[in-house]
Every structure is written in structure tokens, then in C-alpha cells.
Amino acid sequence: MIAVRLQPKASRAGIDGIGLDAEGRGFLRVRVTEPPEGGKANRALVKLLAKATHLPPRDLAIVSGQKDRNKIIAVDGDRTTINHLKSWLGAFHE
């Protein structure tokens, strides 16, 4: 599971690193240019994360926060996929 804070309708799309919420829990900061109407921003989020992590979009699913900027993304994959994702997320701490 990956916690994400999404900013729709941004001037440019991208991943801005790791942030902390008020309780000290980490989340990935992501911006997309699409508006939140009709699920466009959610689809753009999945597409952007899939491209950035080199995972197929079918392996990523929004399981919480469909209509909220705070989302939980489930990642489906084997041990190799999970290790790859941990390594990718770890790069934001350096």
C-alpha cells in the first residue's frame, strides 16, 4: 500500500517526493494536470505511478480516497515487484 496526496489541475504533472501528515505518517506527493471530474485525475495518477515505477497500470489500484486528495494505492505483485517498489520509494529519502 502507498499513501498518496494528489494535487489535480496542477500546471505540470510529477512526483514531488515524500511528505508527512499531522500524525507523522508518510505519503507520496503527486501532481497531475487533469481535473478531478469523472475520475480523470485518478486515472492520470495511476498512469503516472505506473510509468514512474515501471509497473503495469493493472498492478496499481486506488483502494481508498476515490473522491479525496488523500488516497491509498494498492500494489499487486510478487516479491521482486515489492522489492523494486521499496527501492524506488527509498530514492525519495536520499
Q: Is residue 18 a contact partner of residue 4, using CB atoms and an 8 Å limit?
A: no
Residue 46: other Cβ atoms inside 10 A = 20
Q: Is residue 64 a contact partner of residue 71, using CB atoms and an 8 Å limit?
A: yes
pTM of the model as a whole:
0.86
- Segment 25-51, tens digit of pLDDT: 889 999 999 999 999 999 999 999 999
Q: What is the mean pLDDT of the chain?
A: 89
**How confident is the model at residue 93, as a pLDDT?**
60
On the question of pLDDT at 56 being above 80, the answer is yes
Per-residue pLDDT averaged across 50-56, rounded?
A: 89
**Nearest-angstrom CA–CA distance, 14 and 21:** 20
Which structural domains are found in the chain, ordered by start?
2-93 (3.30.1200.10)
